Amino acid sequence: MPIKVPAGLPALQAVIDEGNAVETFEVSTARTLRIALLNIMPMKETTEADFIRLFSETGEEVEFTLMKLDTHTPKHATPEHMNRYYKGFSQLKGEHFDGLIITGAPIEKIEFEEVSYWPELCSIFEWAKTNVTSTLFICWAAQAGLYRKFGIQKHLLPKKMFGIFPHIINTPAHPLFKGIGETLYVPHSRHTEILRSDVTACKEIELLSESEISGVYIMQEKGTLNFFITGHSEYALNTLDGEYKRDISKGLPIELPLNYYLNNNPANTPVNLWQHTARRMFGNWLKYFCKAQ
């Protein structure tokens, strides 16, 4: 189904150049889902392409709005790109969206209150309660949301959780997992974690999916359509490869991403274990939760 993005967005052409058949449209209809992406990842165009790639294959008609923070200036994106394709929270706060995705950010080791844009992010959390049907908090944003809403702390890992990990589904009948088998493979790339014991102790959270290795994965705030996701199901095939080789080139301590390269050899192409289920899961989110008006 078609997707509507800001005119001229380079990430759209990048997805098409990969060989993806992406149909676009200009005029929204009654069936169009309005999805906002608050993109606080450093490489803006990469993240834009990740979600365009997913949404273009879900079977839903999506109008994709790129949201930026008013109190933060990205270091890795040009002002021209941000001003042309993104709208600030102050510009969008009077609007309603069927779905909101808040991405992660490589600031896990910083205390939440020390993040320069923490007050604005908290305002967005509050705004979403009345202006968004369903919200996905991803990676660092999941940790931030759990902390802000329930006081759940993040904890530093002894080493980076890095690779593709199998996850069990605790609630197979949940609509988010419709058409997905018993096991989810998910990319993780983070230095901190949320403890399972803290999640299960909170009566306002339901733990939907988890891994023996990488821990809690998807949680839902009970009585709402809000989800906290600790991994990166949206990642492209070569994202972890780029992260690994970047850190190696900088001389940083990084281990080979687990369950990623064929025969665990970084000279080989990564094995695609997760993208088919990611497409299904994000499609289910759009169909069963963003439409739940």
188 is catalytic: no
Q: Which amino acid is it at 256?
A: L
Q: Which of 139, 167, 206, 243 is catalytic?
A: 139
- With a CB cutoff of 8 Å and minimum separation 6, the contacts of 49 are 11, 12, 14, 15, 236
End-to-end alpha carbon distance in the chain: 21
Q: What span, in angstroms and rounded, lies between the C-alpha atoms of 82 and 229?
A: 26
DSSP 108-174: TTS-GGGSTTHHHHHHHHHHHHHHEEEEEEETHHHHHHHHHHH-PPPEEEEEEEEEEEEEEES-TTS
Q: What span, in angstroms and rounded, lies between the C-alpha atoms of 244 and 237?
A: 13
Q: Which of 61, 63, 193, 234 is catalytic?
A: 234
139 is catalytic: yes
Residue 254 CB coordination number (10 Å):
16
Q: Which of 60, 61, 232, 243 is catalytic?
A: 232
- With a CB cutoff of 8 Å and minimum separation 6, the contacts of 115 are 107, 121
234 is catalytic: yes
Residue 176 in contact with residue 218, Cβ under 8 Å?
Answer: yes
Give catalytic residues, as residue numbers: 139, 232, 234
